[in-house]
Amino acid sequence: MRSLHPLFVLVALLTVSPALAEDAPKAAEKSQSAEAEKPRCEHGVQKSLCTRCNPKLAAVFKAKGDWCAEHERPESQCSLCHPDLAKKGVK
């Protein structure tokens, strides 16, 4: 059971994947105050961080150790392991 701060995830993604840099500034601003305003995908997670929409992101989360092997998604996005995420709309 572990959850990472959204900003930490962003920073890690920026470090590993420059292609995602375009989304970072505005996403970082919003993550400070209004979590609900982040653009979300059909899975209820921040679209630019969704491994189910962007399978290539899986390697990034795995490299950080933020990965739920049982459910094949980042631990920080796993509503099955973290019911509190489900309450926020994560599927």
**Contact footprint for Zn ion (CB under 5 A):** 41, 43, 50, 52-53, 68, 71, 78, 80-81
Dihedral angle, C-alpha 48, 49, 54, 59, nearest 10 °:
140
2 vs 26 by CB, closer to Zn ion: 2
Shortest spacing between CB 84 and Zn ion, in angstroms: 13
Shortest spacing between CB 21 and Zn ion, in angstroms: 20
14 vs 41 by CB, closer to Zn ion: 41
What distance in Å separates the CA atoms of residue 80 and residue 74, rounded to the nearest whole number?
11
Q: Are 83 and 90 in contact (CB under 8 A)?
A: no
9 vs 68 by CB, closer to Zn ion: 68
